[in-house]
Amino acid sequence: MAKHCSFLLCVFALAALLHADGPGDNLPDKVRPVPPPGISIDDADRAQLQAGVEALGKDIEQLRQDLKGKPALLELLPDVQIFHNAVRYALTYNEFYNPKEPALARKLLAQGAERARQLRDGKAPWTTATGLVVRGYQSKIDGSVQPYGLVVPPTYQANSPYEHRLDIWCHGRNEKLTELAFLNERQSSPGLFTPKNAFVLHLYGRYCNANKFAGEIDCLEALAHVRKHYPIDENRIVIRGFSMGGAACWQFAVHYAGLWAAAAPGAGFSETADFLKVFQEEKVQPTWYEQKLWHWYDCTDYAINLFNCPVIAYSGANDRQKQAADKMAEAMKKEGMTLLHLIGPQTGHSYEAKTKEELNRRIDSIVKHGRDAVPMHILFTTWTLRYHKMLWVQIDGMEKHWSRAEVDAVLNDGVSIRTRNVAALTLHFEPGSCPLEALEKPSVRIDDDEEEIKGVPPVLSDRSWTAHFRKKDNTWEVVAQVEDGKLRKRPGLQGPIDDAFLDSFLMVRPTGQPFHDKIGAWVAAEMRHAVSHWRKQFRGEARIKDDSALTDADIAAHNLVLWGDPGSNKVLAQIADKLPIGWDREHVRLGKGTFAAENHVPLLIYPNPLNSKRYVVLNSGFTFREYDYLNNARQVPKLPDFAVIDVNTPPSSRRPGKVVTAGFFDEEWKLPAQEE
């Protein structure tokens, strides 16, 4: 089976490489569609499948009503919905790619119908099954149901107190990996790695994005779902992947280093600029703000975080994607670390058998020791408060976003910390985990202060401890809580525009008359584009409401994406004077800049004046576009916190129009000095 899986991986990877990447995909005016158009299927098959989709849809809606008083069973409804969605999407969006897939679709509909029947009878046998299992969860981002696959070890027994190791697998690039294809694969192959007595979680990752953006949150949500329903040892979780999945693994390893017992990336890419030059043969010419935004996903910038996460890289000696580990090795060397890089001799884009055995031996050894949840020494860096936590240290505020922030924290008789570009931080230990004595207040020194910080709270008798600190006039002091009532960039509310789509969002459609017809037409087209491409690239259906139908509950629950201008969108008109822009029939004003309203539209992200715990976004979906779908290393933010678009230049495969100005708000969400 292992040889068969290795062969299949090599075939799939080679097919992806032949179809994608290379100079032919460097032409913005000749962009092939992703996902590609499907094949035609027989009319009789289509009619039969459509009837099956409608029947299962009715079953699901009836179950939703019947199970209202049975929350434990109602929670399992996504395990049925994954089959319905898989076939519905394939029919609706012409996503059959193989003549055998209509037959597979019939099998999936039958599975969905069987699970629906079992739920109606108060049963859910798949939740205790071993072997290959497919399941689903409802995402907070858009309310969509997302699938994942599991390999459940034969030693698993429901209600057993034994906690299992879990390996998470990130799949490679496959532009035809629809939900239908994914569910079929996950019920026919266990994959490349099946450690003894371990669960393996196969992420769908919302299709083909290298687990970025919504694909990144998919990992966290799927992991939370698995941990809720199965006995998983939180200190024996391994993150793995190959090719595009190797890139995803690097990303998870450096951004969430404190979660894993180990990381095992294979091939892939680890940054944007050099990979596109070497692998894509692309002349990379970013704007100044795009280059800053590379710090979101460039793993080389976060290499020091691997101090807290054991990592073993793998590459084939003859694989061009060996570049990923080579770049990480360089970055780690600059931090004083040496990357263990296993290389398969005379091997291309696949795992070499003996090297794979050595990789498994080493990972298994690491997992036996388990994750160190309370290390005595933490080295942590970030460039954005999107990634603000490393085990018992969390950064609550930065002095300047998109510049490197650092924390070097050591536990001894107390805590000694050195920081850079940090304005606020928290030390947090769960009950039973704080190694400091509970006899007196701990000693805390930050940034070589000669005196201990006064007012540090004591370690509690349950051996938990939480202490908040904020820098004031270049001196650190204890504060009672993180929030101080001021408008600041903080974790989960720090921008840029794309950040709004990593949490629950709602598209708000304008119903009024726009200031100018040209702007109204651009808004309508861009909103259609945002909704359509959210489904194509992130496999969800965006929530949409008219501005006149928005409720207080909506404002409380979602980031609001407001489309239109203050003339056409009632919600935007309500908050316009509380945003850092001016916008009337004549002009758009941004700091010292003034632009004609007849052909300019502002895009921005900002704390919602109606709910400061959520974002408001003006006139934008996620900011990378069709050209960027062709190589996953391009799938990075293309706009910062704000921009002004000249709609006289039509939207293209790269931009929504001509970007006449763009930039970042400061740490207090104010315009930078040059814009004031």
Amino acid identity of 10? C
Helical segments of 230-322, H only: 244-255, 273-278, 288-293
Residue 611 in this model has a pLDDT that exceeds 70: yes
Distances (CA, A) of 586 to 449, 595, 600, 650, 661: 55, 9, 10, 21, 18
Q: Is the pLDDT of residue 500 over 60?
A: yes
Per-residue confidence band for 3, with pLDDT thresholds at 50, 70 and 90? very low
Nearest alpha carbon to residue 189 among 8, 405, 453: 8
Residue 676 has pLDDT above 60, yes or no: no
Beta partners for 344? Answer: 316
pLDDT tens track for 40-62: 999 999 999 999 999 999 999 99
> Residue 21 pLDDT > 80, yes or no?
no
Question: What is the torsion angle, in degrees rounded to the nearest 10, for the CA atoms of residue 339, residue 344, residue 349 and residue 350?
Answer: -110
Is pLDDT above 80 for 450? no
Q: What is the pTM of this model?
A: 0.96
Mean pLDDT of all residues in the chain?
95
Does the pLDDT value for residue 668 go beyond 70? yes
Percentages of the chain per state (helix, strand, coil), in multiples of 5:
35, 25, 40
CA 473 from chain centre, in angstroms, equals 36
Per-residue pLDDT at 22? 75
The predicted structure's pLDDT at residue 11? 41
pLDDT band at 577 (very low <50, low <70, confident <90, very high): very high
What average pLDDT does this structure show over 287-292? Answer: 98
- Residues with Cβ < 8 Å from 298, sequence gap 6 or more? 270, 271, 272
Q: What percent of the chain has pLDDT over 90?
A: 93
> Helix, strand or coil for residue 438?
coil
Contact present, 582 and 600 (Cβ < 8 Å): no
- Residue 314 token pair: 């793998």
CATH architecture label of 2-30+128-298+309-331+345-357: 3-Layer(aba) Sandwich (3.40)
Q: What is the pLDDT of residue 5?
A: 43
- Give domain limits for the chain: 2-30+128-298+309-331+345-357, 33-125, 389-479, 497-675
154-164: pLDDT as tens digits: 999 998 899 99
The predicted pLDDT at position 13 comes to 43
Residues 6+ apart with CB under 8 A from 385: 395, 396, 397, 398, 401, 489, 490, 491, 492, 494
User: 200 pLDDT exceeds 90?
Assistant: yes
pLDDT, greater one: 298 or 160: 298
Angle between helices 353-369 and 2-19 (to 10 degrees): 110
Mean pLDDT of 269-275: 97
> For the residues of 614-648, what is the DSSP string, one character each?
EEEEES-S-S--GGGGGSGGG-S--S-SEEEEETT
According to DSSP, the β-strands at 232-242 and 262-266 are: parallel
Residue 160 burial (C-beta neighbours within 10 Å; 0-12, 13-18, 19+): exposed
Confidence category of residue 451, pLDDT binned at 50, 70, 90: confident
Q: DSSP for 26-57, please give it.
A: --TTSPPPSSPP-----HHHHHHHHHHHHHHH
Label residue 190 by pLDDT band (50, 70, 90).
Answer: very high
Tokens standing for residue 122: 């108060």
| 609-624 per-residue burial string, b: 16 or more CB within 10 A, e: under 16 | ebbeebbbbbbbbbbb
What integer is the mean pLDDT of 599-627? 98
CB 564 within 8 A of CB 510: yes
Q: For residue 102, what pLDDT is reported?
A: 98
* CA gap 307, 303 in Å, rounded: 8
